[in-house]
Structure 1
Amino acid sequence: MNTPPLAGGTAGPDALAPLLAAVLDALRTGALDRGGPPPAGGPTTTAHRVHTAAHPLLPDHGTGPDAALGPLVHALTQGAADPADPLCAAHLHAPPLALAAAADLAASVLNPSLDSWDQAPAASALEAELTRTLARETYPAADHPDALLTTGGTEANQLALLLARERHPPPLHLVHGANAHHSLPRAAWLLGLPATHPVPTPTGTLDPEALHHTLTGLTGHPVLVAATAGTTDSGAIDPLPALADVCAAHGADLHVDAAYGGPLLFSDHRKHALHGLDRAHSVTLDLHKLGWQPVAAGILAVHHTGRLDPLQHTADYLNSHDDTEAGLPDLLGRSLRTTRRPDAFKMAVTLRALGRDGLGALVDQVCDLAATLADKIHHHPALTLHARPALSTVLFRPTDADDDQVAAVRRTLLDDGHAVLGRARADGRLWLKATLLNPHTQPGDLDRMLKLVEGHTPR
């Protein structure tokens, strides 16, 4: 048996070329065969197609690359919920830029691991450049801000809570709005903290007076308050300056989950909505949402690098003291993970290629598109709009439908392969959710979406 070629080294590009041609062809034909945002037919149909393409998955004798790669890429693509389709708009799951995907290919080929410098010399230097840049973007006036890369908002929120726990005497109490991401109370559970203190958010955002009342009841206890800049359900942004004032008055730490809304910082027209963000002790960002990166692209930014000290850790084979003293960078304290992909690379390529104005324009584009959709719904005789969008998420529902009918409309569109819409509860009712992250979506696509919803609503 011939030894399969490697992706790296001087011979790697020649070995990759025919494989990439097969991949690109299967991506193209798979998307054409899918014919819509998701595959039609639901889970059973998709599972059958995947089984047919993959079986047997571990044969006694391999099929060779042509018979494995092309059919499986085709099956993956045909069965994808493709965020590049304008009617795939359920989740905070952006279509990645071609540029970022190409950069990610280079990172995969070279396969650096960010747990020691001798595995990732250039990648670790570029990660340091990226984290300094994003930390400074988040905390423009801080003396020594810093940032870490994470797998996404969930890991960043968990790290924020861990760092706050290590900074204070036990037990740390977490206070968060009822609008907060589920990862925050879950992180408290994982870290063995007391039950969290959710503050009701009947208007959709965390009320400073309600927060003051909750913190008054926790006087004498160390507290981390978690605010949100871009809720998952509606994109709402908490009143950050007022919440920062309340936290300062009570001596509470403030963390802001800006996994969704953070990239407003790139927009000259919209960054005012994040006024007060730099008063937080830590901030979660995630560029696989309004940053158009392949997963993963999470960031935790802190206002001072000393906040990261609890993560310091030594494993002699990775960061021995004598190597560190000799000048080799210590990477092990930059994450709770050991092996880490060079996720900084695709982000760095994107930031340099597009610049602040290019990224800001994309952010403005999808937020403006959401405003357009809201206008269309507002004037539609058979649809009801929940509220004007704060970011790029729009909640709406058929006016005369009950919750069961709303849920059925969503599932029918999904099963038929016509559209992928999300769901959210607000004001005691179930709403359809359109999360617009595709900057190529046109107003006509929005009209198609609304026509599909209206056409599938029971009379």
Structure 2
Amino acid sequence: MSSIGSAARAHLFHDGTVERYRDVLARGVDRVARRVAAVDRPGTGAPPEALAPLVGAVDLDRPLGDTDAALDELHDVWLRDAVWFHHRRYLAHLNCPVVIPALLGEAVLSAVNSSLDTWDQSAGATLMERRLIDWTAERIGLGGAADGVFTSGGTQSNLQAMLLAREEAHRRVVGGAPVRPARPEVLARLRIVTSAAGHFSVQKAATLLGLAADAVLTVPTDASRRMRTDELARTIDRCRRDGQVVMAVVATAGTTDFGTIDPLPEVADICTAAGIWLHVDAAYGCGLLVSPTRRHLLDGIERAASVTVDYHKSFFQPVSSSALLVRDGRTLRHATWHADYLNPARAAEQGIPNQVDKSIQTTRRFDACKLWLTLRIMGPDAVGALFDQVVDLATEVWRRVDADPRFEVAAPAQLSTVVFRYANADPNLADEANLHAREALAASGAALVAGTRVDGAHWLKLTLLNPETTVDDVTAVLDLIAGHAAWYARTAATPAPVG
């Protein structure tokens, strides 16, 4: 064996290197802890052109050979300018601070490195994931035949839900057992109906599943940004008259911008009457499943054929931690492919629990471990109480912004987002003033907010997912935004000097 090969073995994790493992991880944990303790803003505002040369200069063919030196370098290329979701003035996207029990789970699952595709690679981890799926299905109310699988995130969950809905619709059209591959003439007729406020992953899923370019039909929302059920019914009727087949209706429980929850009972009534697969994208709103006070906001979700949940949004879990739940576990067979070298058909006949039979992934992390430890250490009520706190905060922030003459709000807060804009400027400059305010704020690193478009205009968005954030924190950010926007409005309105 070469000297390099011999030295390399010292880096493998096994019974002979556990002390090295303890030492190296302790050094890494200490670096992160010290960095977090020193963070005084959610980011530094470093632009790509500043960081790209640092990363590009790293010679990956010449190892540093020392843990501390590598951690020093990691600080320079990443940690120093990282975006910190735990900071009280990170108010941008659906990124939550994470709970410590989940971080413990992350460390454990990474070291053991179980793969959740087959039983012989995971053992009890498979049963723990299945128990968490059953627990979530019980919280939703899907019934005893429900099943599901963990995924990488809401986009994958929505994709798999649309795959199952497509196969079920295809089977109904052609009659009999599922047909592989799907017939092009059938795919051309399939349609998905969602609201104008639905997530873009629905359109992405339609493309990946080979549906027509116009397969996704969006219906308008009402003044509260919820799906209009009258328009939903009309769209379904129009599809039927045109010879199209609505394979799924996608309702949203927590839209990305407004946090709105579609009228799930009414949508379910329409889908039941028409025999259409109802999918509820609750990637954001799933935190209500453990809310001690707001679970009723999800009434009707129990009637869905499939549900997306993102624990890494409102359960305070590290990325990634998501799941797809289905009312009828048999529909997961549409994602099943057997390979003699991995999950032969005889394994299923013997009752061996191979999770790859349910997933569109093969190798898959034991992300369920994080949620398992969170529930066993904190309990679901504690997680729900954290989510309740940010929803309460958003309600109070919305009241204050609505009463502030410098701003206007697009809609009342539903969950934990507030969509607003600086309005104390020439209407012709309002879009540019708001865009400038967001960019200037991000460049300063003092705070981070998101942006979106509402009815063709540029708006700003506060996404409140940190229970440590206070109204005073948000007020300070609003003052910064108003200052940047007002400066732009004054500057843009001032005529350029002559001569």
TM-score, with normalisation over the residues of structure 1?
Answer: 0.94
Distance 1:12 1:76 in 2: 28
Deviations 1:311-344 (A, max 9, x none): 2221112122444444532222121111101011
- Aligned partner of 2:135: which letter? T
Aligned to 2:196: 178
Indicate yes or no: 2:65 matched with 1:63. Answer: yes
Aligned pair partner of 2:443 in 408, 415, 437: 415
SS in 2 for 1:109: helix
- Aligned partner of 1:174: which letter? I
Higher mean C-alpha displacement, 339-348 vs 312-321? 312-321
Aligned to 2:208: 190
Indicate yes or no: 2:474 matched with 1:456. Answer: no
SS in 1 for 2:313: coil
Aligned pair partner of 1:279 in 303, 310, 319: 303
Shift of 1:251: 2.1
- Aligned partner of 1:222: which letter? V
Shift of 1:374: 1.1
- Aligned partner of 1:207: which letter? R
Aligned to 1:444: 472
Give the 3 Å change call, closer, same or farther, for CA 208–76 of structure 1 in structure 2. same
Aligned residues: 455
Is the contact between residue 23 and residue 70 of structure 1 (CA under 8 Å) also seen in structure 2? no
Indicate yes or no: 2:236 matched with 1:212. Answer: no
Aligned to 1:310: 334
Aligned to 2:220: 200
- Aligned partner of 1:225: which letter? V
Give the 3 Å change call, closer, same or farther, for CA 254–322 of structure 1 in structure 2. closer
Higher mean C-alpha displacement, 161-170 vs 324-333? 324-333
Is the contact between residue 316 and residue 383 of structure 2 (CA under 8 Å) also seen in structure 1? no
- Aligned partner of 1:451: which letter? D
Aligned to 1:147: 148
Distance 1:7 1:238 in 2: 51
Distance 1:222 1:6 in 2: 56
Is the contact between residue 90 and residue 433 of structure 1 (CA under 8 Å) also seen in structure 2? yes
Aligned to 1:156: 157
Q: Which consecutive segments of 4 or more residues in structure 1 shift more than 6 A? A: none
SS in 1 for 2:239: coil
Higher mean C-alpha displacement, 76-85 vs 65-74? 65-74
Deviations 1:208-256 (A, max 9, x none): 0000110001125431111111111111111111111112222222111
Aligned to 1:102: 104
Is the contact between residue 119 and residue 126 of structure 2 (CA under 8 Å) also seen in structure 1? yes
Aligned to 1:120: 122
Shift of 1:8: 4.2
Distance 2:160 2:13 in 1: 34
Deviations 1:253-296 (A, max 9, x none): 21111100122011131111111011111111101100111111
Indicate yes or no: 2:200 matched with 1:168. Answer: no
- Aligned partner of 2:202: which letter? L
Shift of 1:398: 1.2
Unpaired segments ≥5 residues, structure 2: 171-185, 491-499
Indicate yes or no: 2:46 matched with 1:41. Answer: yes
**Identity within the alignment, %:** 38
Aligned to 1:334: 358
Deviations 1:143-201 (A, max 9, x none): 31112111100000000110011112233211111111000011101101122111122
Aligned to 2:183: none
Is the contact between residue 153 and residue 284 of structure 1 (CA under 8 Å) also seen in structure 2? yes
- Compare CA radii of gyration and give the structure with the larger one: 2
- Aligned partner of 1:180: which letter? G
SS in 2 for 1:227: strand
Aligned to 2:493: none
- Aligned partner of 2:162: which letter? L
Higher mean C-alpha displacement, 326-335 vs 249-258? 326-335
Shift of 1:403: 0.8
Distance 2:483 2:29 in 1: 35
Is the contact between residue 314 and residue 387 of structure 2 (CA under 8 Å) also seen in structure 1? yes
- Aligned partner of 2:245: which letter? P
SS in 2 for 1:384: strand
Is the contact between residue 7 and residue 13 of structure 1 (CA under 8 Å) also seen in structure 2? no
SS in 2 for 1:175: strand
Shift of 1:434: 0.7
Is the contact between residue 149 and residue 355 of structure 2 (CA under 8 Å) also seen in structure 1? no
Shift of 1:379: 2.5
Aligned to 2:136: 134
Aligned to 1:429: 457
SS in 2 for 1:313: coil
Distance 1:451 1:17 in 2: 46
- Aligned partner of 2:109: which letter? A
The equivalences for 1:241-280 within 5 A come to 241-280=265-304
Aligned pair partner of 1:237 in 261, 268, 271: 261
Higher mean C-alpha displacement, 243-252 vs 340-349? 243-252
SS in 1 for 2:314: coil
Give the 3 Å change call, closer, same or farther, for CA 13–371 of structure 1 in structure 2. farther
Indicate yes or no: 2:79 matched with 1:77. Answer: yes
Aligned to 1:21: 26
SS in 2 for 1:56: coil
Is the contact between residue 119 and residue 354 of structure 2 (CA under 8 Å) also seen in structure 1? yes
Shift of 1:359: 1.4
Aligned to 2:252: 228
Is the contact between residue 280 and residue 308 of structure 2 (CA under 8 Å) also seen in structure 1? yes
